[in-house]
Amino acid sequence: MEKRKLLIVDDEQTLCGLLGRYLSTLGYKVSQAFCGEQAKEVLQSQPIDLVISDIEMQGISGVELLKWMQESNYKIPVLINTGHPTLDTAIEALKCGAADYFTKPFHLEEVAEKVSRAFTKKRLEEENYALSRLASLHDVTKILASTDNASELIKSFLEFSLSMVKADSGAVFLSDGKSRFTVSKTAGVFSKYEFWRVKSFTSLCSWVQFNNRAIITGSEHTEQVPGVDKIPDGLRSVMALPLCAKDKFLGVLMLARKIGHDPLSNLDLQIINALSMQTSIFIENVKLYENLRNNYLSTVRAFAQAVEAKDKYTHGHSENVMKYTVALGKHMDISGQELEHIKYAGLLHDIGKIGISEAILNKPGKLTDEEYDQIKRHPELGSRIISNIPFLSQLVVLVQHHHEFYNGKGYPFGLAGDEIPLGSRLLSVSDTYEAMTSDRPYRKAMPQEKAFKILREERGAQFDPVVVDAFLEVMKAGV
Ligand SMILES: [Fe+2]
């Protein structure tokens, strides 16, 4: 284990030397300063784990040194001693954050005991803090596990990481699978541009990828990285961790603390590492799911286009119905899988027209009763087509009932009110509105206000009144 580093500050040089030699024999590495100014220089130039300081010195007093350390964010224990003890000086020293206080003359063993106790107290405080963060890690992981959007997941992960180690800035760099990186998200004081522009960040990404391990750099407490540019001025330390799911390298998480703050510690690294390992798997899963979803959407789109290729007058109809239905669903607080199903049903609601003769579909004039009966078969035909495709099976009922009327006078089954699936009731309004406001071979598109009037007139008759009201609100707000 690395030796603990002590700084003894005392203008009595003999005493300073005596105490220093004794503490060295106990395994500490000791530096000495003979005034407050010299002590500041030592603290600014090298890592120190504990300070023992006299109070009465020429220039800066021990208490002033203590106050300066507090203002500069040094979080190391300070033991104060004095040859002229008064209760007031003891109280003032402790108020300024001294870990302990002792008087001259002292026994060397007594000082050694106080040093040891101060280190034990600091270690316990750090362990308590780590435990509190580990406890919150569980809650954070639960929140991240429930996110199904890769971009949001990365953003939340970065924000949680930043707050868990009190970093001032951070970024997630994503790998393109080779050796190029893009800045996916940033948080804190640095912008995306700054993370990208500073060469040390990108060279650190490459180092982490090549060595496949985490590192803290830039502070005097930690290792310097060969081949990596110096970290920007103003930063005290930077932590970089690989994000890996199974054996796949996804990218790098980078967190930074500014000068004036403690450097990032190995304990910080362990906590973020635990969070990163878990989150990397979530990120990979969400990306796979997004890919699957995109493939699914492409397939559904291809189906919808196949229908529209037959019915040349309804080009773009399904895409518009999908757009209206999704906006309407969101407005009615529908989300998650239910919204996804409604969305795809919007695209596929008329898939059954694939089984209807093109002559009927493209007939410019009025349809005969027989022809209309043929058209009316399309919801059932559509539901039969998609019931054979496992990943579309959830949409069967939505498609089957998109021409039902709220008053029971629709087709194919004459369902009424809540018997009609909610998604079908939404589709019905969007579908009718889209048809009314688009050009057809036998008529021009209806003005929006006229279509709204018809929807209002059909509230409770053809359409669910609640859905009509929501639709009108959505349209007035602008889709
Ligand atoms: Fe239809």
C-alpha 333 to ligand 1 mean position (Å): 25
C-alpha 376 to ligand 1 mean position (Å): 8
pLDDT at 223: 55
Q: Cis (ω within 30 of 0) for the bond into 412?
A: yes
What span, in angstroms and rounded, lies between the C-alpha atoms of 206 and 184? Answer: 16
C-alpha 437 to ligand 1 mean position (Å): 15
Measure the CA dihedral 329/333/336/337, to 10°: -50
What span, in angstroms and rounded, lies between the C-alpha atoms of 66 and 137? Answer: 34
C-alpha 379 to ligand 1 mean position (Å): 6
Any idea which residue has 């500490």 for tokens? Answer: 28
C-alpha 59 to ligand 1 mean position (Å): 89
What span, in angstroms and rounded, lies between the C-alpha atoms of 383 and 412? Answer: 11
C-alpha 404 to ligand 1 mean position (Å): 10
pLDDT at 221: 45
Residue-wise DSSP of 154-171: HHHHHHHHHHHTT-SEEE
Residue numbers of the chain with a pLDDT score lower than 70: 1-2, 219-225, 260, 312-313, 441-442
Kindly report the length of the chain: 479
Question: Residue 217: which residues within 8 A CB-CB, separation 6 or more?
Answer: 204, 223, 224, 225, 228, 231, 237, 238, 240
* DSSP assigned state of 262: P
Do the Cβ atoms of 445 and 437 come closer than 8 Å?
Answer: yes
State pTM to two decimals.
0.57
Dig out the tokens for 429 from the structure.
Answer: 């309004």
Reduced to 3 states (helix: H, G, I; strand: E, B; else coil), residue 348 is helix
* DSSP assigned state of 440: B
pLDDT at 208: 92
Question: Residue 203: which residues within 8 A CB-CB, separation 6 or more?
Answer: 227, 228, 229
Rounded to the nearest 10 degrees, the angle between the axes of helix 422-436 and helix 465-477 is 50
Do the Cβ atoms of 265 and 157 come closer than 8 Å?
Answer: no
C-alpha 233 to ligand 1 mean position (Å): 65
CA-wise closest residue to 250 among 209, 278, 289, 218: 209
Question: Fold for domain 311-477?
Answer: Hypothetical protein af1432 (1.10.3210)
Dig out the tokens for 173 from the structure.
Answer: 């760099």
C-alpha 471 to ligand 1 mean position (Å): 18
C-alpha 406 to ligand 1 mean position (Å): 16
C-alpha 326 to ligand 1 mean position (Å): 17
Q: What is the CATH number of domain 147-284?
A: 3.30.450.40
pLDDT at 48: 86
C-alpha 473 to ligand 1 mean position (Å): 24
C-alpha 81 to ligand 1 mean position (Å): 89
CA-wise closest residue to 161 among 189, 181, 182, 141: 141
C-alpha 310 to ligand 1 mean position (Å): 14
Q: Give CA separation, 417 vs 234, 327, 329, 430, 466, in Å.
A: 66, 22, 18, 17, 11
C-alpha 431 to ligand 1 mean position (Å): 7
Dig out the tokens for 219 from the structure.
Answer: 């502070």
What span, in angstroms and rounded, lies between the C-alpha atoms of 193 and 200? Answer: 13
Question: Residue 363: which residues within 8 A CB-CB, separation 6 or more?
Answer: 371
C-alpha 352 to ligand 1 mean position (Å): 8
C-alpha 223 to ligand 1 mean position (Å): 67
C-alpha 53 to ligand 1 mean position (Å): 86
CA-wise closest residue to 103 among 87, 86, 85: 85
Question: Fold for domain 5-125?
Answer: Rossmann fold (3.40.50)
pLDDT at 1: 54
C-alpha 454 to ligand 1 mean position (Å): 18
C-alpha 318 to ligand 1 mean position (Å): 10
C-alpha 449 to ligand 1 mean position (Å): 23
Question: Residue 479: which residues within 8 A CB-CB, separation 6 or more?
Answer: 323, 324, 327
C-alpha 350 to ligand 1 mean position (Å): 5
Q: Where are the domains of the chain?
A: 5-125, 147-284, 311-477
CA-wise closest residue to 413 among 402, 422, 423: 402
What span, in angstroms and rounded, lies between the C-alpha atoms of 184 and 181? Answer: 9
